[in-house]
Copies of this chain bind each other. A is one copy, B any other.
């Protein structure tokens, strides 16, 4: 090995698994696009794109998300990098997957529509191109593990939410029912939620108190050795 010049170079892309939670329908969704270029033009795909010369992988992923949805400052984290030689029939492309968590309501609906993107329930996905099904499967598994040990579920909800809504979110992610009293006992005992003096009155006559996630409080507890854990029955 003398220098770098004799080594091959490849196209490098990022693909974004954009999770959104539909608080009305209580289902977890993915934002998918119809591919606008060959190969596989017109097929369903994750939002993706090639990495530019002057941006990092993280920046490329943020750019792609922003272009599609109009939002930045979103929880986004790197998943695996896919590098099989034949994963893209057009050329050798190394692609790093990222997954993002966002509230569907926060998103610019017109922009999404103009980009030909659509929200699809995670348990009713269309056929996806290439190895995108693998990417989705992996990201979903990662998400299920992540929400158990980090308070990232809140990223999928509006700023104000009720305990019923929070529980429904966890039920949608875990795909199982949770006991109401145990769930509330556990999450409230952590001391990272703040009760507001305001009720959500759409879904019941009595109304349900709104809560907010107190991030500073969580970070402080975390520094003192507290571990978020919401692995409930």
A88 to B204 CA separation, bound complex (whole angstroms): 58
The reply on A94 being an interface residue by CB < 8 A is yes
User: CB distance A4 to B91 under 8 Å?
Assistant: yes
**A227 to B, closest residue via Cβ:** B231
Residue pair B52, A8 in contact (C-beta under 8 Å): yes
Of the candidates B54, B90, B92, B94, the one whose C-beta lies within 8 Å of that of A3 is: B90
Binary per-residue interface labels of chain A (1-34) against chain B in the complex, 1 for a CB within 8 Å, 0 otherwise: 1111001111110000000000000000000000
A36 on the B face (CB < 8 A): yes
Can you report 6 residue pairs joining A to B where beta carbons are below 8 Å apart?
A1-B37, A3-B90, A9-B9, A12-B83, A12-B94, A94-B94
Copies of this protein in the complex? 2
A contacts, CB < 8 Å to B:
1-4, 7-12, 36-38, 50-58, 60, 78, 80-85, 90-94, 96
A53, B92: Cβ atoms closer than 8 Å: yes
Closest B residue, CB atoms, query A53: B8
> Which residues of B are found within 8 Å of A82, using beta-carbon distances?
57
CB within 8 A of A12: which of B10, B38, B53? Answer: B10
Contacts of A52 in B (CB 8 A): 8
> Given that A10-B9, A11-B7, A50-B7 are contacting pairs, would A2 and B81 also be in contact in the complex, using a CB cutoff of 8 Å?
no
| Among candidates B4, B53, B85, B92, residue contacting A11 with C-beta atoms closer than 8 Å | B4
Q: Which 4 A-B pairs have the closest CB atoms?
A: A57-B83, A9-B9, A7-B50, A1-B37
For residue A1, which residues in chain B have a CB less than 8 angstroms away from its CB?
36-37
